Amino acid sequence: MSHRFRHLLAIEPLTREQITFLLDQAKPFQEFQRYPLKKLATLRGKTVALAFFENSTRTRISFSTAASRLGADQMNLQAESSSLKKGESLSDTVLTLEAMKPDAIVIRHGSSGAAEFISHRVDVPVINAGDGTHEHPTQALLDALTIRDRSRSFDNCNITIIGDILHSRVARSNVHLLSKFGAHITLCGPAMWLPRELDSLAPGIRRVPRLEEALDGADVIMALRIQQERLHEPSLSADEYILRYQLTPSRVRLAKSNAIVLHPGPMIRGLEIDPVVADSLQSCILEQVTNGLAIRMAILFELIAGSAEPQEQAKDSPHAAH
Ligand code: NCD
């Protein structure tokens, strides 16, 4: 089957084969991050537009660095200073960007469905860098790469995701990805943050409100960022969240002894995660960041150069530049 991608909007519609293909494509780029000279000419002459309508540090830097390391130029849309503030519609802003002829548009937006909306209006590949509470496909792919690298096969792997699942596009994309591969997923958090709709995705998905029970036998533990503004009396105070859901060393010991810990960042030490856990050998948090570069390089390469003629592609492959 063809693995060709026009856009990367979500994990949900992708097949296992397409996901595996993207993870495999990231392999050489993972190795590349260790090279002393981190510059390829693969996308020289191409331009990546970064349209971030929502604040972002790591995802934006990651896409920008990935584009630079492939040799691409960038166009940056700063949400605060853009004409959006002057009342321009999302559609007009993106069409204006497109008129400057980028070869791909990476978009982050606070509204669920924004990336797909844009993909129907432009002729270039669109990459979703997070849309509202919907999906964050590159995050789930980099998480999968990290899990696979620590020699966990997804099949029958026990994965516990902790926190505000309801508002988390990271959780949603991960649930879609991991359930396609037969992982056993446990969602844990305050009842008001555990969406029912995700249970129906795959037979293995459980909702477990008590963290101690949710961690029992886990191979992979994923703590989500908690938005402090969502923690308030009378529903749930920060102290209560910490007491019941913070990932502490004693709780991590309830999981398998070789369990790994993931967090998409930005992480709040002392809230969702104890600093001892964040800095432990079981923590893969910084590996996730490095893998983010590799997966984003692979995706930019695939969407921009992947549509080139095979001969042209071979000449421009990442391996050819070294
Ligand atoms: C996530 C996001 O923005 O969705 N961060 C990230 O991209 N690494 C997680 C979050 O902010 O909760």
pLDDT at 83: 62
Ligand 1, CB within 6 Å, residue ranges: 58-59, 130, 136, 139, 169-170, 225, 264-265
Q: In the numeric block, which tokens belong to residue 54?
A: 């929502």
Question: In which band, very low, low, confident or very high, does the pLDDT at 321 lie, cut at 50, 70 and 90?
Answer: very low
Peptide bond into 266 cis (omega under 30): yes
Of 111, 146, 170, 268, the one to substitute when testing ligand 1's pocket (max ligand atoms within 8 A of C-beta) is: 170
Atom 7 (ligand 1): residue with closest C-alpha?
59
CATH of 151-283, one of 3.40.640.10, 3.10.440.10, 3.40.50.1370, 1.10.10.10: 3.40.50.1370
* pTM of this structure: 0.93
Rounded distance between C-alpha atoms, residue 208 and residue 159, angstroms: 12
Does the 16-136+291-321 domain belong in CATH 3.40.50.1370? yes
Compute, in angstroms, the gap from residue 266 CA to the centroid of ligand 1: 7
* Of 302, 304, 305, 284, the residue nearest 294 (C-alpha): 302
Cα four-point dihedral sign 127, 78, 46, 319: negative
What are the sequence ranges of the domains in the chain?
16-136+291-321, 151-283
pLDDT per position as a tens digit, 273-319:
999 999 999 999 999 999 999 999 999 999 999 865 444 444 444 55
- Judged against a pLDDT cut of 60, whether residue 138 lies above it is answered with yes
Mean pLDDT within 91-102: 95
pLDDT per position as a tens digit, 110-136:
999 999 999 999 999 999 999 999 999
